[in-house]
Chains A and B, each alone.
Chain A
């Protein structure tokens, strides 16, 4: 299939965009990456995602698909030769979807709140909520992974992608805030999983380097202060 048949509109530091890239890599699908400039939205993006005007958007054969987890499911269903991203058992699929929705609805906002909290009290509250969310994910790892390498079992799956995309930013936050989010003793499951996920062939060239993200965070903070 021609590589220009699949385009991804995104930005390299976006964990939501990274989800799509990892999924395409898992299926060995070539794609053209159209990088959005920070601070502006291209005509193509606005045309392809008029409702939300957000990245990622995947365009396949001219048709746009939006919302990262929906795109990942689409990738799984459109390319059936290649490893499955969602598990085959309906209940396991439901658990993967449930926890992926939890990541978007609860974990991510909590993570953002921690990053932007100002003042000792607000930081402490945000930190506690974030650690609670992480402990739930540690729990989910045991339940879904059932002692195997990944949430998806022996191979990377939907929930691994949904959570793992944040590892770059989590490490950046750990560095900047001098805090351990994924700790070898407190969250041993996630700790081991993070290493395996990050070094996986489909992932390792996608997740941005910690130093890059720290620089971006500093730049964004400086911009915000200047306004």
Chain B
């Protein structure tokens, strides 16, 4: 907090200097036009709220700095966040440029000169589609940590510790070195956990019978009843092929759970898709060939359906003044929530099999790196409270997504590639977590902001965690030596991500979560906090989370203070005198809390509830108008590229300053922290 305060006053000067500096250091990419004046930034919700300013193109960011106003609102967008750029037909006022981002920000600019617009467009097209990993932001990003700290950051999440926590290795499961040097499967990690009875021969044999050699390996183990979740890709069964080793592999998984006489094999694809795969020599397990399996399809659609679904939903989000019907129909037609439900259902099925029936489950889809990752991680999250803590959630993503070869680069288009490979697979998982948080508000240690920031950084390429498509590629690139870990960054700022309702001794956090199933009406809701994240006007104007967090801290502080005072009291002889002081101080404090909450409670401006009002000659804008619009301007700082900004500068809700944590902060203005971002930018340029 103090750190952010330091930059408050000097921000403007700093930013400009940085920008000039950045413009001179654009590296390999030639930026035709590094700076355009008199650009207008439009607001989707209100045509009246267009801002005029200067647009800068730097090596890493697009920056819009508003003219004139005291606050100098800035909008920063990382090039890696840009998903599409659209140049629209020139109008009388200029040439519109529409930039859509992967974190669901939509920026509408109007550039006065068509030629300038074209130059910006051409530069951005190139900047937004890097061809080499080395061009990505994480290789130039430097948060000023020394080597030791960087290494410590990468060690924050440790998977072998995680398997130890699950109780592995034990008498049923062991770590296998069969994939040492990625010899068996190049998209798997080197350390794979398999049943003890599965010999290297069985594993290798089974891997030859599985798509991309992704053999069954352990994802989660429940030490209470020995049931486990394993994952693999589809078998190459075609219409009739069999593989003894693969059958033995499944037997071994079953035997590793002596309490149960069968295992579930869950194919997360729709049956039709699985059957179609048989024609290509792939397919699914035949119950007749495998002894003691129960086979189950769960129809989660493929990445192409999901990509289109998201596209349709985003179109709904972008609509200009939609009616309620437009919105609900659009949302339904996108099918997005239906897909979310399908993923949740699959996770719930598996969690139930493991927790209630004590039966092990083998999960696969086609290649076992998209739907399988979603479903395994949802199930783990339901089963184990550990994954609902902040650290545990990082481990979960590391385990089921990063280590098992989810193709981050292809799915999230970090490098210029096949657009058909792009799909919001992990976005869907993150949304599932949010949907669960809505149903179980006390069960998660982290809050919505944590999820949003993780989503942001999956696309930002600011940290090395999600680069490439597999562990093998990451090792070859020496990611850990050349970039920083997101987990360390999030962990450092963990105070921002805490859920105030989470209490380790609360009943709701124990054991398995049992989400409601039926009726599913309104169980799954549209997540405007994510998909309309940058349109602050749509969201609740006051943040309960932040308020409660502040209250919690305040209480803690008071209690500590009280303890100290209590001690002192006991030691002092003039009890009466001291007692009065404490009493009055206590009252002051509670007054302060109330005051700061109310004085900043909120200010907002009305939307366009009517167009008729414009035609009516009204009086000159009142004083109040100006005040309010000034406040609104500052909140637009949120539209900056670093999500941390939005975490801390929501001036509309105005309660953030409570989190300044200094007892005297009650009446102060919220801290302004673009400085932080600028700071990062400086480092990168150095």
Q: Do A and B bind each other?
A: no
Residues of A within 8 A of B (CB): none
